[in-house]
Structure 1
Amino acid sequence: MSNKPFQFKEFSIQQDKTAMKVGTDGVLLGAWVQVNSEVFSVLDIGAGTGLIALMVAQKSNAEVIDAIELNDDAYEQTVDNFERSSWGDRLFCYHASLQEFVDEIDDEYDLIISNPPFYTSTYKEISEERAMARHTESLTYYELLEGTSKLLSEIGSCAFIIPFSEEAYFIELAKQQKLFPNRITRVKGTENSPIKRSLLQFSFTENTTIINELVIEIERHQYTSEYINLVKDFYLKM
């Protein structure tokens, strides 16, 4: 995958230092997550390049947007991308693991967001380089959700993108942390292809879950109107 900068409408992502490149999953999550007007503080767990935090900065008025990243190269890349953006005064990246961050930080966040490393059934889907970039640093879904529940404000929400095959397991683990799914969008490449990803947004409030599907393409490089509407504020060619 290219090391060239990835240009979005309002910011650019440098990705030459890290194996974790800009991908559809991160863009989907950043575009899909609901950020209500009361959100003051946001945390991106596992920043990679800082993509999702930058998308949230563009689409919201949140005053504090923090990120954490353990990988040395990815941390440096995220800091660089934050500093190059128009929202550098709102963005900050911590060089730490989630476990270290939970132990050291007393703050709570109104929105927590993560595109976690896929370490289970989809591990073989990603390149060996990308897998190794996160293999020793990946956290289990249990650790991710436990840490999220400790850092999330009482009225806050958290959002993730995971393989669809792990959706039921992930929701069950979330319930153990008293996190309940409020929104679920299941993502398919085309109308006739299997569901590949699940976008999930949770809170401590148990309500009726809004469930829908998103199809990305009608055919190769011909995108559905639903997908275009979702990402048009970010992608240059949409």
Structure 2
Amino acid sequence: MSKKPFIFKQFEVQQDRCAMKIGTDGVLLGAWADIPENTNSILDIGTGTGVIALMMAQRSSAQLIDALEIDENAYEQAVENFEQSDWGDRLFCYHAEFGEFVEEMQDEEKYDLIISNPPFYNSDYKTTSEERDIARFQDALPFKLLLEGSTYLLSEKGKLAVIIPKNQEENFLDIAKNFGLFPEKITYVKGSPTAEIKRCLILLNINSTKTAKDELIIEHDRHQYTKEYKNLVSPFYLKM
């Protein structure tokens, strides 16, 4: 297994000890999520390598950027990646399960932005790697737990940003509504102009308003990236 780090423009990410490597979903979410100027605190749930939390540190002046990771190896690697970055004084990682974290923190800390690239494949697709399954399957962090727990941790102006499969959008939004969370913005992601929509980037808040919807196409042709995609990720990827 390669021990070379994934090098971004302003930070590097070691990922050899993480079951789930850096991928398009996480980087898209970290680049897409709205961060208002008055955002003081951010929580990244299921941080893995720590890449989204690092992107939050690059993009914002938030003084508190917490991350949460259940897998011990990924947790230790995220801590190392935070310490090696320019923002180590603003980044902190907790090694805990989300439900436990909510119980401990709900009266201690509120977050202006909660962000998560949650596991979303069901148990029918389990692999032989327990670490990869924990990182990628919904058993470890069901949408219900993510949404309900977030309501205890969000500040009054707080928002929740996620990326999920298109075929789970309706179920996710139904659960969110039950917990008083409503979609403020949804971006549908397609790999190419003729491809099906595979992902939804969703921003939720506690106010029921009209949902702004748009579409993001990643490529015109193979490795021929669209202007919109390049504008979104160019602050991070070296060759973009």
TM-score under structure 1 normalisation?
A: 0.95
Deviation string, structure 1 residues 107-159 (Cα, Å, up to 9, x no partner): 110000000011339x74x9654643435961110011011111001111110
Question: Do the aligned residues in 1 keep the contact of 2:20 with 2:132 (CA within 8 Å)?
Answer: no
| 1:20 to partner: Cα distance | 1.1
Counterpart CA distance in 2 for 1:191 and 1:10 is 31
What does residue 73 of structure 1 align with? 73
Deviation string, structure 1 residues 29-63 (Cα, Å, up to 9, x no partner): 00000000111000000010000000010001111
Question: Do the aligned residues in 1 keep the contact of 2:189 with 2:216 (CA within 8 Å)?
Answer: yes
What does residue 85 of structure 1 align with? 85
Counterpart CA distance in 1 for 2:181 and 2:164 is 16
Q: How many residues align?
A: 236
**Moved beyond 2 Å, runs of 4+:** 1-4, 126-137
Counterpart CA distance in 1 for 2:134 and 2:178 is 29
Provide the aligned C-alpha RMSD in A: 1.7
Counterpart CA distance in 2 for 1:141 and 1:154 is 21
User: Could you tell me the percent identity over the aligned residues?
Assistant: 55
What does residue 94 of structure 2 align with? 94
Question: Do the aligned residues in 2 keep the contact of 1:29 with 1:115 (CA within 8 Å)?
Answer: yes
What does residue 191 of structure 2 align with? 189
1:164-183 superposed matches below 5 A: 164-183=166-185
Query: Which amino acid letter does the alignment assign opposite residue 31 of structure 2?
Result: A
Counterpart CA distance in 2 for 1:3 and 1:197 is 30
| 1:2 to partner: Cα distance | 5.1
Question: Do the aligned residues in 2 keep the contact of 1:145 with 1:174 (CA within 8 Å)?
Answer: yes
What does residue 8 of structure 1 align with? 8
Which deviates more from structure 2 when the two are superposed, residues 7-16 or residues 131-140?
A: 131-140
Question: Do the aligned residues in 2 keep the contact of 1:20 with 1:133 (CA within 8 Å)?
Answer: no
Question: Do the aligned residues in 1 keep the contact of 2:8 with 2:237 (CA within 8 Å)?
Answer: yes
What does residue 18 of structure 1 align with? 18
Counterpart CA distance in 2 for 1:169 and 1:76 is 33
Cα gap change, 1:3/1:185 in structure 2, threshold over 3 Å: closer, same or farther? Answer: farther
What does residue 226 of structure 1 align with? 228
Counterpart CA distance in 1 for 2:122 and 2:167 is 10
1:20-59 superposed matches below 5 A: 20-59=20-59
* Structure 2 unpaired stretches of 5+: none
- Aligned to 2:109, which of 107, 110, 113? 107
Deviation string, structure 1 residues 143-195 (Cα, Å, up to 9, x no partner): 11011111001111110000010001101101111000000000000000000
Other structure's SS at 1:52 match: helix
Counterpart CA distance in 2 for 1:85 and 1:12 is 7
Question: Do the aligned residues in 2 keep the contact of 1:71 with 1:137 (CA within 8 Å)?
Answer: no
Cα gap change, 1:14/1:145 in structure 2, threshold over 3 Å: closer, same or farther? Answer: same
Counterpart CA distance in 2 for 1:191 and 1:3 is 35
Counterpart CA distance in 1 for 2:92 and 2:177 is 30
Cα gap change, 1:40/1:183 in structure 2, threshold over 3 Å: closer, same or farther? Answer: same
What does residue 60 of structure 2 align with? 60
- Aligned to 2:141, which of 136, 139, 149? 139
Counterpart CA distance in 1 for 2:38 and 2:118 is 25
Counterpart CA distance in 2 for 1:3 and 1:23 is 17
